[in-house]
Amino acid sequence: MSQMGKVYLVGAGPGDPDLLTVKALRLLKAADVVVYDRLVSAEILAMIPEKSKRWSVGKSAGRHCVPQDQINPLLYDLAKRYPSVVRLKGGDPFIFGRGSEEAEYLGQRRVAFEVVPGITAAAACTAYSGIPLTHRGMSRVVHIVTGHFRDDEPIDLDWERLTGPESTLVVYMGLSNIERIAEELMRAGMPGATPAAAIQNGTTPNHFCLASRLDRLALEVREAGLSAPVLLVFGEVVRMAEVMGDWFCPTTLTQALVGER
């Protein structure tokens, strides 16, 4: 064990390189090898020193991502060869990032690891769209769920719990199932007029926020041709984008669409 290196499970944040933590940057600069996902932005990858080895395990043109059951042993093998291995992930490593599976695997093999939290998409993409996750009188509960389901599987979520009053629902990986998600929410009692938003490439120079209402969001998202990564947000707080939605992104569709109602 004493000969083994250490693995740092590091969150890179949602895209804007200025949202990288000081600790993440320090570790990146000192890494012998960096294993990174496709959601890590090019600007952040450019901060990796030339001398450090890089290992992409994310999807790129024409290539599939490396399966998780190959990433875990890869990290273990790299820790045997290098003192400092940075496992760099988009957002936060422990929020839909499978960082905890990697930590568990390494821990079981007595490889030392550290977890460096990153700013998760739910916090950053909404803030950059002028949407607060909570707001007095509008929302005091936040639900964060995954919208990733296989086509042949029922969506196994307690929709009624997610549609409660004064709450905000944030859906990661929901783009391909947006129609099913909207239908389930309305069936569970969420009014069709509930403000809803889809945020594409949040916090990057291509940040785009489409704000609408629950019963129209899916259609408008398809018409606008949004593509991943996209974060979905449902709840009264989306209305706040009318007031402060353009502080970061003047091209947002927010004002036009929410204002239409």
Ligand X SMILES: C[S@@+](CC[C@H](N)C(=O)[O-])C[C@H]1O[C@@H](n2cnc3c(N)ncnc32)[C@H](O)[C@@H]1O
Binding site for ligand X (CB under 6 A): 14-15, 39, 89-92, 95-97, 120-121, 125, 172-173, 199, 201-203, 228-231
Catalytic residue among 6, 53, 59, 80: 59
CB of 115 to ligand X, least distance (A): 12
Chain residue at closest Cβ approach to ligand X: 91
Closest listed residue to residue 47, CA positions, set 6, 99, 10, 93: 10
Q: Does an H or E element contain 223, and which?
A: helix 214-224
Q: Residue 219's beta-bridge partner residues?
A: none
Q: Which two tokens stand for residue 25?
A: 């940057």
CB of 91 to ligand X, least distance (A): 2
* 179-196 residues labelled b (16+ CB within 10 A) or e (exposed): ebbbbbbbeeebeeebbb
Q: Does an H or E element contain 105, and which?
A: helix 99-108
Q: Quick count: other Cβ atoms within 10 Å of Cβ 165?
A: 10
Q: Considering beta carbons, is residue 76 or 128 the nearer one to ligand X?
A: 128
Q: Does an H or E element contain 107, and which?
A: helix 99-108
Q: What is each CA distance from 217 to 126, 168, 220, 246, in whole angstroms?
A: 16, 16, 5, 20
Q: Considering beta carbons, is residue 96 or 159 the nearer one to ligand X?
A: 96
Q: Considering beta carbons, is residue 4 or 24 the nearer one to ligand X?
A: 24
- Measure the CA–CA gap between 261 and 257, rounded to whole angstroms: 7
Q: Considering beta carbons, is residue 5 or 14 the nearer one to ligand X?
A: 14
Q: Considering beta carbons, is residue 5 or 97 the nearer one to ligand X?
A: 97
CB of 16 to ligand X, least distance (A): 8
CB of 47 to ligand X, least distance (A): 17
Catalytic residue among 16, 37, 89, 92: 37
CB of 213 to ligand X, least distance (A): 20
Q: Please say whether the beta carbons of 208 and 248 come within 8 A.
A: no
Contacts of 150 (CB under 8 A, 6+ apart): none
CA dihedral 125, 131, 135, 141 (to 10 degrees): -50
| Catalytic status, residue 77 | no
| Catalytic status, residue 37 | yes
Q: Considering beta carbons, is residue 27 or 124 the nearer one to ligand X?
A: 124
CB of 35 to ligand X, least distance (A): 15
Residues acting as catalytic residues:
37, 59
